[in-house]
Amino acid sequence: MGSCLKSMRRSGLAGGLAAVFAVGLLELGLVVTATTPSRAGDVTLVESGSTLLYPVFKIWAGEYEKTHSGVKITTTGTGSEKGIEEAISGAVQIGASDAYMSDAESRRNPNIVNVPMAISAQTVNYNLPGLNDVNVKLDGQTLAGIYTGKVRSWDDKAIVALNPDLKLPNNPIIPIRRAEGSGDTFVFTQYLTFSTPSWENSLGFGTAIRWPAVPGAIEATGNEGMIEKLHETPYSVGYVGVSYHDDIAKAGLGTAALKSYDGEFLLPTPDSIAAASAALGPRTPTDERLTLVNAPGANAYPLINYEYAIVSTKQADAGTAAAIRKFLHWATAPDETNQKYLDDAHFIALPAHIWVLSYDQIEKIK
């Protein structure tokens, strides 16, 4: 694999990546063929964490088991905070998270790596009778006002100013937030922090924060719970992982066009997610802990993030470590099959230079 990585580092994002990736996949043994499934001993890997990543992780696990009969992978959507905690404690081999570990957590746990597996996005959704087929424009300051109780009704002047052509109802806004520690909350509150000084100075961001007391505000557990609460609560607003796009549509919810760093009102599309990634991705350090929220540049959707596997580099035995390495390499492999899994979840694949960084981190797992 060394020769492949040298080629990738020389070429960066330039032409010829397909050939380089093909060589890398062959060297890693990750190309899926019609051969008999491999078997290197029975190993069970347990994953827990992000409900945003869960739909893709569940597909990865099922497909991987088909061609690797000695490996069983169990997956559970418990929330990013719990995924990180259980990876640190050793309760699971892989913690899935939309959030990277904090500086303090990383210092306390130097053997834990944060490995991006894909790039995802988040939507702001609402149940606004008569307007759910319209992309209501919202920005970070207005959302911060809603979640602090300063913006109380849908026809508040702050929302009207963003949507002068809409007839907005004079009904109270019901903000919905996650009950458990969540990577979705991490990403959403980063957007509020980066766009609203008063939020940054008083509340900040995290997988869990001390939410202001807002009359009528309710809590939901997981992305499925958020969609359910939005669906059953007229005039509500909340934040949902983009992998639940189909569930959002089935529930008949509206999706906001969010104001970007450059002042555009955007929806998450493959192009707008890729544009945001391209703006900030090159700043990614070797430990890959970096926010992609509120990226500058044209057509850069503001709510995007790396989807992380949180893993200890010190596993119980060599067989488990090898199984984790092989699975993570397979799941991040830039091939057409994996691209389909990501497309179905409205994720995008890691850019080449980020794939190299993730590869290096995975190789630390022993």
Q: Tens digit of pLDDT per residue, the chain (366 long)?
A: 544 443 443 333 333 344 344 444 444 444 433 333 344 458 999 999 999 999 999 999 999 999 998 999 999 999 999 999 999 999 999 999 999 999 999 999 999 999 999 999 999 999 999 999 999 999 999 999 999 999 999 999 999 999 999 999 999 999 999 999 999 999 999 999 999 999 999 999 999 999 999 999 999 999 999 999 999 999 999 999 999 999 999 999 999 999 999 999 999 999 999 999 999 999 999 999 999 999 999 999 999 999 999 999 999 999 999 999 999 999 999 888 889 999 989 999 999 999 999 999 999 999
Domains and CATH numbers, the chain: 2-118+306-362 (3.40.190.10), 122-274 (3.40.190.10)
**344: enclosing H helix or E strand:** helix 336-344
* Cβ pair 51, 241 in contact under 8 A: yes
Q: Which residues, in sequence order, are CB contacts of 357 under 8 Å at separation 6+? A: 116, 284, 286, 288
Structure-token pair, residue 284:
């990614």
Note the residue count of the chain: 366
Burial bucket for residue 336 (CB in 10 Å: 0-12, 13-18, 19+): exposed
Distance, first Cα to last Cα, the chain = 17
CA distance 231 to 128: 10
Residue 227 and residue 223: Cα distance in Å, rounded? Answer: 6
- Residue 129, Ramachandran bin (φ over 0: left; ψ between -120 and 50: alpha; else beta): beta
